[in-house]
Amino acid sequence: MEIIPEPPVQKTSISSMLSSNPYFSAGFGLMGLGASLALLKQFSIHGLTHAKRHLLVTLEISSRDKSYNWFLHWMAKQQSRSSHHLAVETSFKQFDNGSVASGVRFIPGPGNHFLRYAGIWIKIQRERQGKLIDLTTGAPWETVTLTTLSRDRDIFQILLKEAQEMAMRNQQGKTVIFISWGTEWKQFGQPRRKRLLDSVILDTGIKEKIISDVQDFLKSEKWYADRGIPYRRGYLLYGPPGSGKSSFIQALAGHLDYNICILNLSTRGLTDDRLNHLLTNVPEQSILLLEDIDAAFSGRSQSDDQGYQSGVTFSGLLNALDGVASCEERLIFMTTNHVQILEDALIRPGRVDMKQAIDNASYTQAKQMFLRFFEGRENDADEFAERVCGLEKKVSTASLQGLFVYNKHDPRRCIELVEELGK
């Protein structure tokens, strides 16, 4: 009997079975494609990161840096017409005669801006962090980030220098006013045109006396150092409202080419620590002005160490003025309408080195003011001054100036209306 062998059983591998399955092949292909795309994306990200790292350079300017506002104003000049993201900045100025001038200008707002400067493209991103604030000012934290090609990094230094020079030109021949903001000094409004000393008319010899003393102090730094005396000097100007105390200080600052730092001791939130920090960090070449010093402690005894409104204590003020931590190279002016209520501890030598009364208009002041507004009218000036001094109620120089401004083309009318000032 012939045995017929069975046909050999073909062994099929798992791989051949899977490969012959059209569904699996399609799925595997998709997986491979997905993996390839993922790898390609990852390589692309790394490639872009590598390219940015080596081809681009960025510069960040925070809102706490002085150059922040310089750069924004510079940028506004560069692309005032091309920018699509703008923010408004309002200026406000009140003149001595009470009139007000205000205006607005546009600066780059939050967002992305593109600027071509000196043939180089720069991306500028201004960001405002809504959830972050500057604890010293309470303002939102902001940054400006500049991006350009790494090879052009020197452009940053060039444009920042130009922005600084533009800001300095804007302040040249002007007086910058600073106010306290948290623990910092912040510029208040636009720089003011310097006030001429001749425009402030005080009684005979007063202006010259103060100016001479201030100039002597500014030249005596070595003299103070050699004798171990703190290099600071304080002045107290006292007298009725409108007598020219603040106007003289503004004119003096312009004469010295100094700025003015105004500190209101009644500001809510001001504490002894903040006061001490502010007085220790006064900007260079600045007069520190404490106006109406008596008002800071009105309604309570000055020797009472409980803070009033602002939280500043009387002992805290004394320590800030001449304590161990108080700064040197400081020129400080205080003004008050009620010198009689100030305690001796506040105005003793070392805290106040010169006290000067600035009173209502005298005969000399009235005559000089008249001639300043109406040059050459000597006879009318004498008559005007006599009438002013003959009033039962004394009048301030501010009242006289208001009379002149209102009748700037009619000197005789000014003489006729003098009687109204005394009512």
Question: What confidence tens digit (pLDDT) does each residue in 50-70 have?
Answer: 555 668 888 888 877 878 888
Helix and strand counts by DSSP (H, E) for the chain: 14, 15
**C-alpha dist (Å) from residue 283 to 176, 181, 261, 267, 286:** 11, 13, 8, 20, 6
SS3 266: coil
Please state, in angstroms and rounded to a whole number, the distance separating the CA atoms of residues 235 and 357.
11
* Angle of CA points 389, 392, 395, to nearest 5°: 60
Please state, in angstroms and rounded to a whole number, the distance separating the CA atoms of residues 262 and 185.
9
**C-alpha dist (Å) from residue 334 to 45, 234, 282, 351:** 63, 8, 15, 10
Task: State the DSSP code for 203.
Answer: S
Around 104, how many Cα atoms within 13 Å sit in the side-chain half-sphere?
A: 4
Confidence of residue 116 (pLDDT cuts 50, 70, 90): confident
Supply the pLDDT for residue 211.
Answer: 96
Supply the pLDDT for residue 397.
Answer: 93
Supply the pLDDT for residue 423.
Answer: 74
The encoded tokens of residue 308 equal: 């009033």
pLDDT exceeds cutoff 70 at 124: yes
Confidence of residue 305 (pLDDT cuts 50, 70, 90): very low
pLDDT exceeds cutoff 90 at 186: no
Please state, in angstroms and rounded to a whole number, the distance separating the CA atoms of residues 180 and 137.
9
The encoded tokens of residue 152 equal: 């052009």
- At 97, phi and psi to the nearest 5? -85, 5
Please state, in angstroms and rounded to a whole number, the distance separating the CA atoms of residues 33 and 43.
15
Instruction: Note whether 358 and 206 are within 8 A (CB).
Output: yes
Confidence of residue 20 (pLDDT cuts 50, 70, 90): low
Give the residue-averaged pLDDT of 132-146.
66
Lowest mean per-residue pLDDT among 80-94, 212-226, 401-415:
80-94
| Range list of β-strands (E), 100-258 | 100-108, 111-117, 120-133, 140-149, 174-175, 177-181, 184-187, 192-193, 232-238
- At 16, phi and psi to the nearest 5? -70, -35
Q: Which domains does the chain have, with CATH numbers?
A: 57-172 (no CATH), 192-357 (3.40.50.300), 363-421 (no CATH)
Q: What is the separation, in whole angstroms, between the first and last Cα of the chain?
A: 155
Question: What confidence tens digit (pLDDT) does each residue in 354-393 have?
Answer: 999 999 999 999 999 999 999 989 889 999 999 999 998 8
CA dihedral 76, 79, 85, 91 (to 10 degrees): 20
Question: Bridge-partner residues for 62, per DSSP?
Answer: 143
Supply the pLDDT for residue 422.
Answer: 74
Q: pLDDT over 70 for what percent of the chain?
A: 73
